A and B are shown apart, each in its own frame.
Chain A
Amino acid sequence: MFDFITESRNFYDYITLAVLLLVFFNTFEILFLLYNKARVERSERKRQNLKRLASTALITATNAAELLPKPATEDEYAAYSEAVASVLDSFEGEIADRAAALITQLGIDAHYRRLARHRTWYKRGNAVDILASFRLKANKEFFLAIFRSETSSEVKYRIIYGLSRLVRDHGDILVLARLLSSLPYLTAKYTEDIFYNVITALKAAGREEEFGLFMRDTMHDESVLKMVKRDCLAACSAAVCEKGRATLLGYYAAFPGEPEILIASLRALAGIGDFSQLPAALKHPDWRVRLAALKFSHLCCTDMLPEVRAMLHDPNYHVRLNAALAFARSGDAGRAVLRAEESSDDRFAAAAAAYALSQEAL
């Protein structure tokens, strides 16, 4: 097929040319990669130095903006915003107030507000993420305005995340819930994070009970997905809703046939030290609920040992195993039960007991 090349008088010239071209491209590629590596490293060093400078200015000066050069490039804005976000995430008080002031003084918020209207969706999303990390109350109206004009769902989810950090009262939660329900359900983790932010923000504002009101209102609201209710309960568990005991008990009672809601309620209640529903949960027909209850049984009381012992003979493997582990965590009384069960006629219970004792010995 390629005879016309191999039989050509210039065949070796073609080969030489091809080799030379390959050498040229490879050399060019290596030089380009080296140049790019050096460029990225230089830019990273510059960014770290600026971050360091911003942190030092925040520590040493009352007005840090006076000590810092105005940001001009994207890297400079990113460095300052990283330093500020890091301070706001880790500290409160005077230094956090200075960091928040720096955002406006250096025009960082104005820059990212402009970017939040960029024509490329990922640039808008990135800008929204950065604005969200600042937790500036002034951005609430801005977030609501861009949500209305935003076309990308990806960015809308991020705007809702940003808004969740700015919730101050019951009205804000309702607005947030309305925006959230206007989009398809994303993931359990996302929804949990949103409500976790809401609870944390309300706690910081001294209004934690307003989340309890919201939970109570949505309990029987058919328009709210059961998955969302479950995620609210999971957020309560993560953020420790100390003032939500009555509502959490209400959820446990209102959804007897919904294992996921029961499990999330049990966890949230256990998080605030309420184990009142455990005896009933240990007998629930759904093995997942029994399993969830077992995880806390060693924390609550020793008078449930007979119930937990019965679960060593449960038809479900996970329940049997966790019942044995619960005994292993219950001190001497629990270990005595395990040793007795090791010689049980029920070989499944005996195996679970032996396993738990071996774990205990490790």
Chain B
Amino acid sequence: MAKILIIDDDETIHLICRAYFTKAGHTVETAFDGPEGLEKAAAFNPDILLLDINMPKMSGFDVAKQLKETEKTKHIPIFMMTSLKQASNIQRGYGLGIEEYITKPANVEHLKLRIEKFLEKKK
């Protein structure tokens, strides 16, 4: 089962994703902003990272950039989950090396399946 780190400033997202993913047997860790997320990513070494873009202190793009530039965290697959649908943002995200760009509102059940499918493929 996978270790999932969620970086989002909205606690509701933490609660809902945690409930669904934990029920499926995954271990979930959460962070409310970029700096906390970077710290936890290094310590928790997740199999997948769900990342919001609009957050206090640091944007999701900056977090992704830093994760991909750091030796210890560059292997972590990033799923960006955001309400920003513009092509320029999607392009920027993929340009930083993220694996998936998911737009909100998302179906949490589908999200879980997507993550599991991705991890299965990776194996």
Which A residues lie at the B interface, using CB under 8 A? 48, 51-52, 55-56, 58-60, 83, 86-96, 200, 237-240, 271-272
Q: How far does the Cβ of A202 sit from chain B's closest Cβ, in whole Å?
A: 14
Q: Are A89 and B16 in contact (CB under 8 A)?
A: no
Which residues of B are found within 8 Å of A94, using beta-carbon distances?
Answer: 109
Q: Which residues of A contact B107 (CB under 8 A)?
A: 91-93
Establish whether residues A90 and B15, one from each chain, have CB atoms under 8 Å apart when the complex forms: no
Give the complex CA separation of A140 and B7 in angstroms.
35
Q: What distance in Å separates the Cβ of B60 from its nearest Cβ neighbour in chain A?
A: 14
Q: Choose the segment among B38-46, B61-69, B82-90 that binds chain A (4+ C-beta atoms closer than 8 Å).
A: B82-90
Whether the pair A91, B108 counts as a contact (CB closer than 8 A) is yes
For the complex, give the distance between the alpha carbons of A93 and B87 in Å.
Answer: 25
Contact present for A86 and B10 (CB under 8 Å): yes
- Look across to chain B and name the residue whose beta carbon is closest to the beta carbon of A60: B19
Report the interface size class on chain B: 20 to 34
Interface pairs A-B: 8 shortest CB-CB: A86-B12, A93-B107, A92-B105, A59-B19, A55-B15, A271-B87, A55-B12, A90-B104
The reply on B11 being an interface residue by CB < 8 A is yes
Q: How far is the CA of A26 from the CA of B61 in the complex (A)?
A: 48
Q: Which of A90, A94, A238 has the most CB of B within 10 A?
A: A90
Majority secondary structure, A binding face: helix
Chain A residues with CB under 8 A of B86: 237-240, 271
Question: 5 A-B contacts, Cβ less than 8 Å apart?
Answer: A89-B83, A90-B13, A91-B105, A92-B107, A240-B85
Least Cβ–Cβ distance between B105 and chain A, in angstroms = 4
B119 proximity list for chain A (CB < 8 A): none
Residues of A within 8 A of B19 (CB): 56, 59-60
Interface residues of B in 1-48 (CB under 8 A from A): 10-13, 15-16, 19-20
Q: Look across to chain B and name the residue whose beta carbon is closest to the beta carbon of A268.
A: B87
| A56 vs B11: C-alpha distance when bound (angstroms) | 11
Partner among A56, A96, A237, A238 whose Cβ is within 8 Å of the Cβ of B15: A56
| Those of B73-91 within 8 Å (CB) of chain A | 83, 85-88
Q: Is B106 an interface residue (CB 8 A)?
A: yes
Is there contact, CB below 8 Å, between B16 and A91? yes
The answer for the CA separation of A88 and B20 in the assembled complex, in Å, is 17
Query: Out of B85, B88, B105, which one reaches A96, CB within 8 Å?
Result: B105
List 15 other contacts, CB 8 Å, given A55-B15, A58-B16, A93-B110.
A48-B11, A52-B15, A55-B12, A56-B19, A59-B20, A87-B12, A89-B83, A89-B104, A89-B105, A90-B16, A90-B106, A91-B104, A91-B106, A92-B105, A272-B87
Q: Are A90 and B105 CB-contacts (below 8 A) given A59-B16, A237-B86, A240-B87? A: yes
Cβ–Cβ contact B87 & A51, under 8 A: no
Are B109 and A93 in touch, CB under 8 angstroms?
yes
A163 to B109, CA, bound (A): 29
Question: For A87, what are the chain B residues with a Cβ–Cβ distance below 8 Å?
Answer: 12, 16
In the bound complex, residues from chain B placing their C-beta under 8 Å from that of A91 are 16, 104-108
Q: A92 CA to B107 CA in the complex, in Å?
A: 5
**Are B16 and A95 closer than 8 Å at their CB atoms?**
yes
Chain B contacts for A271, CB-based, 8 A: 86-88
